[in-house]
Chain A
Amino acid sequence: KAGVTQTPRYLIKTRGQQVTLSCSPISGHRSVSWYQQTPGQGLQFLFEYFSETQRNKGNFPGRFSGRQFSNSRSEMNVSTLELGDSALYLCASSPLGGGYGYTFGSGTRLTVV
């Protein structure tokens, strides 16, 4: 059974650019969540998508957005990148969310220079 796949693994972008990260969940999982991990702020929730609808959102500016496709694959986009956006972005998939538990991908390491 394939796990959660995140692409790319590493990314270097310049301030002001935009970036799109991709996440393919485990087959059959309908919930996809995104988290930002930094040394200073730890793990912070970005948003959750369920059946193509965003059903929960964290406290991040509007520059952070996402979407989910009919096959449950998800993308997150960050526009007008800032140095502080440098982080490990983790995607997690779950059958239905909540207590069903979450399986994480290996993350995308984004560096903004």
Chain B
Amino acid sequence: AQTVTQSQPEMSVQEAETVTLSCTYDTSESDYYLFWYKQPPSRQMILVIRQEAYKQQNATENRFSVNFQKAAKSFSLKISDSQLGDAAMYFCASVTNTGTASKLTFGTGTRLQVTL
């Protein structure tokens, strides 16, 4: 079974500053993927970034990057140059790549506030 833990229920960052959201996970599988999803008030879950567990290189998408520490089972999200539009719930999720059946396991989420 997989578990995903987000220990920060809420975070706040000033516009243009950098913030890091934490996530730890646990899995017995060797082939898995990790994701960060953003859920604004519109409710739609939007994929922010994806990381393959077999890749040592940290994924980056524009202002969003991750710090993937496989041995520590840690997967944090860094948002640089924060913008007002970044305010949302952020969910960390994992999925095993069994090839025949898969499901996302989500953390409890971190609510990010962006202030002027």
Check B47–A103 contact: CB distance below 8 A: yes
Closest chain-B Cβ to A25's Cβ sits at a distance in Å of 14
What's the tally of chain A residues with a CB closer than 8 Å to chain B? Answer: 24
Residues of B close to A55: CB separation below 8 A: 100-101
Residue of A nearest to B51 (CB): A99
What's the tally of chain B residues with a CB closer than 8 Å to chain A? Answer: 29
Residues of A close to B103: CB separation below 8 A: 33, 45, 48, 56, 58
Interchain CA distance A56-B91 in the complex, whole Å: 22
Q: Annotate B84-105 by CB proximity to A: 1 below 8 A, 0 otherwise.
A: 0000000100011111111111
Main secondary structure of the interface of A (DSSP, over half): strand
Check B47–A101 contact: CB distance below 8 A: yes
Residues of B close to A48: CB separation below 8 A: 101-103
What are 10 A-B contacts with C-beta separation under 8 Å?
Answer: A33-B103, A48-B102, A56-B103, A58-B103, A97-B101, A98-B33, A99-B32, A99-B97, A103-B47, A106-B43
**A residues near B, CB below 8 A?**
31, 33, 35, 42-43, 45, 48, 55-56, 58, 88, 90, 92, 97-99, 101-107, 109
